[in-house]
Every structure is written in structure tokens, then in C-alpha cells.
Chain A
Amino acid sequence: MTRTAFTGLSTVVFHLTLPHASPNENPETLLQNAEKRLVTGERIIARLFTDLDWNLHFHAGLIVLTNLRLLHVELAQFQAWKLEEVQDLTLEEMGATAAIHLMQADSSVWHWRITVGHVREVEAFLAKLKEQRGTVTSETEAAVDEEDVFSVEEPETKTSTGQPLVRLFKFSSKWYKLMLLGFVLTVASTASGLIGPWLTMSLVDEVLIPLQTATSDVLIGRVYHFVLMLAGAAVLTWLLQWATTYVISRVAERVTSHMRRATFEHLQKLSLTYFNKKRTGDLISRIGSDTDNISLFISVNFIDFACDVMTILFTAVILFSLNPMLALAAIGPLPIVAWLVQWVRSHLRGGFAAASRAWSAMNSVLSDTIPGVRVVKAFAQEQREIDRFREQDQQIFDTNDRVNRTWSFFEPTISLLTDIGLLVIWGAGAWSVAYEHTTVGVLTGFVLYVGRFYGKLDSMSRFVASAQRAASSAHRIFDILDVKPDMPITSGMLKVGRLSGAIEFRGIKFRHGSRQIIRGIDLKIAPGEMIGLVGPSGAGKTTLVNLACRFFDVSEGAVLVDGHDLREIDVVDYRRNLGLVLQEPYLFFGTIAENIAYGKPDATRTEIIAAAKAARAHDFILKLTDAYDSMVGERGQQLSGGERQRISIARALLVNPAILILDEATSSVDTETEREIQAALDHLVKGRTTIAIAHRLGTLCKANRLVVVDNGVISEIGTHEDLMNRSGTYARLHQAMVEVNQA
């Protein structure tokens, strides 16, 4: 916790968002009400907004903890208790809501209700109360003058969200030299593209008209002179455009590749909690197709746009310098175009975002169905998957249709405006030639330039669409990049090196979202000890080992290894000490040797073979055509569950972990294989701290102690005999198992 510089008045605020609070119930008003009630010398220490009344209607309330009292503030109500009178505040979870009871003489004298999403804030508030009462009873008030200020944050918060396109350009700033070059080339190629009409103008006025009116001394040779210059201009434009496209595409490729890598790197840093919430297909589509949209935008659309703007500016200048009156007439329809662009923009914005989401949804269906194809077939649900896919596809189709509807109106309208602009020029130009001595050449040039001018407006309008699409894609990328890892990989700095393997769970509690999963567990595991973790499914065993692996952080209490709080230790350093074997072994696409060496890529072949032998995997590996070089994983050679399991045990063994965690490592295999794996595990367990979760209790016969977890707490600890004699949960589980085996 960080100490704030200012002392005394700082308070802790636990914010609730009050979705249904009416304006006159806003938190500020309540807070002001509370402040009015303070007596002299009373300071606010913490406050907690409540969002329900006793009948569970939305209603804003406020609980304030001061150095003297506990206050309850509502718009029309006020209640106060001296801290000495308050025996305790207790939190009771009741499904989607929770109650906070004010206890006096062991009975609840008052209570508040809140929606369950806010229990974290409540817990923090209760902690503050406890702390404050501690200081009151010991009567060292001066010590609390300085308060720690912290806010209860949502675990994975979003940071700044600026304009996605602006951020996109900040993202590309690394290549500013290339971009600058691209920009200069763009200007040059645009300018050279405008030479043509200029030459045409002179050609008409200085050669063609005199030739026709036959005012003698014009040489026909000058025509070729002009044609040659025109050709030169064309070649120059071609060269410059080539260079521009080349340079800009290079930039675009670099930016998008940087973006893909950054996104993936960032993903790797995020915690399991994030992945639990996300759909694989959605993430794939963000990294794949959204970055592609952006690349297209930078390399093609943006450069076009820059050219267009340039051309429009240049032509406008040229037009005005030729004939201001005509120029004004020519760009008359411009405001209408500007308005149209704005209108289309607002229509497209939603459309493209919807299209990207629809793509994600479709990818999700794919990444759901393809790996699950065996289940689909087993339950003969092919048609249902086809329907599901069709439905998603329909959505893409519909959103695109919607975009196209807007679009189909927009483009022809721009063309029409172009034509109108040209008509105006012809009309006004003819008049000007007749009465104002404008030459035919200038008029020709004018028509050419105006044509270009509006042509560019047309392609600029196309830019509107791609910019909108890129913006929504960039938004989806930054969406990932803005998620702060809730458990920064570098959170603790302590390098532990090789651990001896003492683990202590000290009063830990843990909740997934608002649900309390671990309700207070205390357990000390000595180095080298083997603990068998048993209990009904859903009891929280996996969650407990996840906490030991620090996949999540505890909500309360601490996990200590070798006496260090896990949160102080460098995560990567810590996990080098871990060996993890899960119920569902995951093999990556690659050879068996690569899979075994996953945790230690520089392992020698000798080590790999030794690990495989110890895991009883060597024999079956030899039977495969390519032995250790056999491809396994997604599409490779299919292995049986037990074989995969043995490979994952070899993987855990190879890293020679100080702490070994087996989460139902043998639950999904037959007894024969289990015996094999068991033998492998016995080998693996030696000299390491082991936490083994198993349903088949026989698996745990080597365990020093058995720990029975039930509903988030430890209900029994002891050896097999102890627990059988106690005839509690364990004895029941054992009995049930024996019966199943006899049946």
C-alpha cells in the first residue's frame, strides 16, 4: 500500500455504482448529509455505499465509519452507533444479494442489503472497521492520523481509451522516418500528377487554337514537344507512385506485425481469469483479421486519402489562381458533400463494429465446434452446428447488407454532385469565354482539374468507410492491450531460486467473482511431504492448487512458500519450481520429444529419455513409428489418454520440480494404466513436496497426510486410518468407493 503525502483527512472510499439511483439520491448528497452529522473531532475513515433497501428495492444508502461512530445515512434517515456499542459487522451472502448485519450482544440489531457484486468492497470496509476498532480499544488515536489510501479496483481494469486511430498512429511512431519518406513521396507523386492538365492547358491555348484559327507561325512540331512532356510527366508520376506504394506498404506491414506481436505478448501476460472470460475464436479473430484490416487501411486507404487531400488542395489553389469566379462556381456543391460524408460516417460506424463482432462470433463457433467434433458427432448434432454456423453467418451477411445499403446510396450521389459541378463549369465557362476573354485552354484545364477534384472527393468518401472499419478494428485490438494484467508477472521481485518446498496456506479465502469458493483454509505442508487432497467435486480442491500455483491471488490471507509470501516472489522464478500434472494433459503440436522438454527447452536427449523412462512412457514411445520424433497434438498421431498423461508426467519430471502438483492425474485412465502411472508417480514424488488430488483414494496410499476439503474448508486431516476411525466425510467417500467397486 502506498502512503499518501497528505495526512489526517484522507479517507477510504469504496465506490458502488448505483444503477438505479434517482438523481436526488446521488452519492454526493448522501455524503454531504453524512458530513453534516459529524460531531467535532469526528473524522470519516471509510464509507460504503449500499444499493438496496430491506425489501430489495434499489435504494441508495451509505454506511460511514468514523473514528468514533458508525453512521447509517439515507436521504430521509439517519442512524448512528458508537463504535464501542458495535460488537461486530458480519457479512452474510444470500445468493444474488448479501446482507451486512450489525451485531450487538450476539444478535443482529440492524442490517443492510447489497447486490452480491459488491461484497469485495464490503470486505474491505469490514477490514477497515476491524482495524479502527483495534486502534480505538488500544487508545492510540494519534497513530491512525495517517491513513493508507487504497481503492478497491476491479481486478483487470481498462486504461486510457483515446481515439483508436490517433492511438494507431502513435503506435506506428517507431517508423516515423519511413512514414515521413512515404509522406514526401505522396506529395511529390500527387504534384506530378497535376502537371498533365497544366500542360494540356498550354497545348490548347498555344498550339491547338492557333493552329485551327490558322494564325500562321505556329509550328506543328511544338505538338510533339508537348506530347513528349506529357509522357515525361506520366512516367514521373508512375515512378513516384511506385515508390510511394512500396514505402507505405513496408510501414503498414511493420506496424501490423508489431501490433500482432504486441497483442499476443500482452495476452501471454494476462491471468487465467481473463482467459476464462474470453472466447478463443474472438481472440483469434482480433489478432488475425482485425490487424489485417488495419494493415489494409494504412497501406492502401490512408495513402489514397493523403493523395486525395493533397490533390484537392493543389487543384483548389490552381483553380483559384486561374479564375476565382469559375473556381467558386465549381466547388459550390462542396458543403453538400461534407454533410453527406458526415451522415454516412455515423451510419457506417455502428455497421462496421457490428461486422467485426459478427466475425468474432463466427470464429467462436468454429473454434468451439472443430475441437469438439467428437462430441458433435457422438450426439449427432451436426445439423444443429450447421444451423448455429448459418445463424452467425447470417449476421455477418445482415450487417454487411446494412453497410452496403448506406454505401450504395452514397457513391452515386457523389458522382451526381461531380456531374453537377462539371455542368456548372461548362455553363459558367462558356459564358466566361464569350464575355470575359477566358481562353478555351483555361476552360479545358478547368474541366480537367474539376474532374480530378470531384474524383478525389469520390475516393475520399471511400476512405470514410475504411477509416471507420480500421477504427473499429483498432478499438478491438486496444481493447486487449488496455487490459492491465491483474497479477503483473513482475509483481514480486524476490528471486527464490531453488525452493525447499515448504508451503503454508495461512487463513486463505478466495472468491470467483462474487462466489466464495475457499472459505478460510489453514494448512502447513513440510518440505518433501506428500499431501493427499480429497473431497467431493466442486469442493475447491483445484482452486486451492491454482492458488498454490499463483494462477490467481487469494482474496484474503496468504500463501507462503519457504516462508515468503507468494505475492512477493517473482512469478516466473517461482513457477520454475513447480511441476503440474493435470487431469486433461495438454500436448502442443510438435514432436513427443519437444512436448516432454516443454518446461526446459534446452534439455538434452539423455534427460528427455530418462524422464520418459521414469514416467513409464519410454516403452510405448518406442512402439510409435517415429519414436521420440512422432508428431502429437492437434492433428498429429493420436495417443490414448493414459499415454498423453504419461507424457505430461514426463514433462513435469524433466523440470525436476521442488513442488509437484497432481490434479486428478489418474482419474481418466483404466486401472492397468493407472497402475503404470502410479508407479511413475511414486518415482516422481520422492524428495518433493507433493499435493495430489485424487478421487480414487487408493492412489493416495503413499500420502503422509490426507486433507479432506469440503465446501471450501478443511473438514478433516489425518492418515487413512485416522480418518476411517473418525467416520466422517472421508469414511463416507471411502465407503461409497468400495460399494461402487463391488457393484
Chain B
Amino acid sequence: MIDLISILQQPDVRPIRLFPLTDPERWVAILDSKGQEVACIEDPATLDATQRAALDAALAKRHFVPVIRRILMITRAPDGHDWLVETDRGTTTFRIETDESIQSLGSGRIVIIDKLGTRYLVPKITDLDRDSRRKLERYY
């Protein structure tokens, strides 16, 4: 068993999610400063509590994919559309440029990539409220 805690304490070591959009809970690779993989954890749930906590802390520092809870407003902008959404990290606005910025990941899961490259996730369209779905429907 690798010593995850000491690995994670080294400088420039970073955990990477292999499937950040379709399976963010599992599959984490640990890369060293040169980008080489030093470890790959299939299921963090199998780790013991301290290691798990260390990994989660390291991931939390890097991982940023807000999950959209509600779509409040979508308005037309000169170069795309402005979205006002409520996410698990609070309410925010972002701009998307083309229809291709909204991508389906299968089984109702979609990811929205804004103009600046931030990913917003809708884990399941059917879980959104009716009003949000209506708004989304016009663009996706």
C-alpha cells in the first residue's frame, strides 16, 4: 500500500480526477511535479479515514466544477448568452458562446463550458425544476 499522506505532502504533487465529469467520485491519479503518475486510486472509499481526508483535502483545492441547481435566467448577449444560475457554490453568472459549449455526457448528464473555460455540471436534467428545464430546452 502506498503512503498517500507522505506523497501528498511533497511539493507540486497534485491529484487529478480521471473522469471529472462522468465519475468524479472515483478514479483519482496522483501526479508528481513532472506530470508523471505516481499512483492511481480507483475508489477513494476504500482508503482509510486519514488517507481519505488527505486526498479529499488535496482534491478540494483543485477541483472546481459547480453543479447547477437552478437556472434563473438566460439572456442574449452580443457574443452568446448570459446565464444566471444557482449552483452548489452559490449564485453566479457566466457567458457561453456557442451551442457547442453545452455538451451531453449521456444519460441526462450535461456539462456547460463557459467562455473562460469553467465547467458547470448538470448531473441529471430531469432533476432540475420545470422552469429551469424550460429555459435549458431552448439552448440544448
Chain A residues at the B interface, C-beta cutoff of 8 Å: 591, 593, 605-606, 609, 618-619, 622-623, 625-629, 631, 635
Contact indicator A628/B19 (Cβ below 8 Å): yes
Give the nearest-CB partner of A609 in chain B.
B18
Please give, as numbers and ranges, the residues of chain B lying within 8 Å of A593 by CB-CB distance.
Answer: 19, 22
Q: List 14 A-B contacts (CB under 8 A).
A: A591-B22, A605-B19, A605-B27, A606-B42, A609-B18, A609-B27, A622-B31, A626-B21, A626-B111, A627-B17, A627-B19, A627-B20, A628-B18, A628-B19
- Counting chain A CB atoms within 10 Å of each CB, the highest count among B17, B19, B37 belongs to B19
- Counting chain B CB atoms within 10 Å of each CB, the highest count among A619, A625, A626, A628 belongs to A626
Give the nearest-CB partner of B27 in chain A.
A605
Contact indicator B23/A626 (Cβ below 8 Å): no
Count of chain B residues with a beta carbon within 8 Å of a chain A beta carbon: 23
- Rank and list the top 8 A-B pairs by shortest CB-CB distance, nearest first: A629-B21, A635-B100, A627-B18, A628-B18, A628-B19, A629-B19, A629-B22, A622-B16
Cα of A626 to Cα of B17 in the assembled complex, Å: 8
Q: Which residues from 9 to 61 on chain B have a C-beta closer than 8 Å to any C-beta of chain A? A: 16-23, 26-27, 29, 31, 35-37, 40, 42
Least Cβ distance of A289 to chain B in Å?
21
Decide if B119 is an interface residue (CB 8 Å cutoff): yes
* Known A622-B31, A622-B35; contact A627-B105, beta-carbon cutoff 8 A: no
Contact indicator B16/A626 (Cβ below 8 Å): no
Contact indicator B105/A629 (Cβ below 8 Å): yes
Give the nearest-CB partner of A631 in chain B.
B103
Please give, as numbers and ranges, the residues of chain A lying within 8 Å of B18 by CB-CB distance.
Answer: 605, 609, 622, 627-628
Decide if B117 is an interface residue (CB 8 Å cutoff): yes
Cα of A335 to Cα of B40 in the assembled complex, Å: 84
Cα of A626 to Cα of B100 in the assembled complex, Å: 16
Contact indicator A626/B20 (Cβ below 8 Å): yes
Give the nearest-CB partner of B23 in chain A.
A605
Please give, as numbers and ranges, the residues of chain A lying within 8 Å of B40 by CB-CB distance.
Answer: 609
Cα of A606 to Cα of B29 in the assembled complex, Å: 13
* Known A605-B19, A629-B22; contact A622-B29, beta-carbon cutoff 8 A: yes
* Known A591-B105, A625-B117, A626-B119; contact A619-B20, beta-carbon cutoff 8 A: no
Cα of A626 to Cα of B36 in the assembled complex, Å: 17
Contact indicator B35/A623 (Cβ below 8 Å): yes
Interface contacts beyond A593-B22, A605-B23, A622-B31: sample of 15 additional A-B pairs, CB < 8 Å, sorted by A: A605-B27, A619-B37, A622-B16, A622-B18, A622-B37, A623-B35, A625-B119, A626-B21, A626-B111, A626-B119, A627-B17, A627-B18, A627-B19, A629-B21, A629-B111
Least Cβ distance of B10 to chain A in Å?
17
Please give, as numbers and ranges, the residues of chain A lying within 8 Å of B17 by CB-CB distance.
Answer: 627
Contact indicator A619/B42 (Cβ below 8 Å): no
Cα of A631 to Cα of B40 in the assembled complex, Å: 22
Give the nearest-CB partner of B24 in chain A.
A629
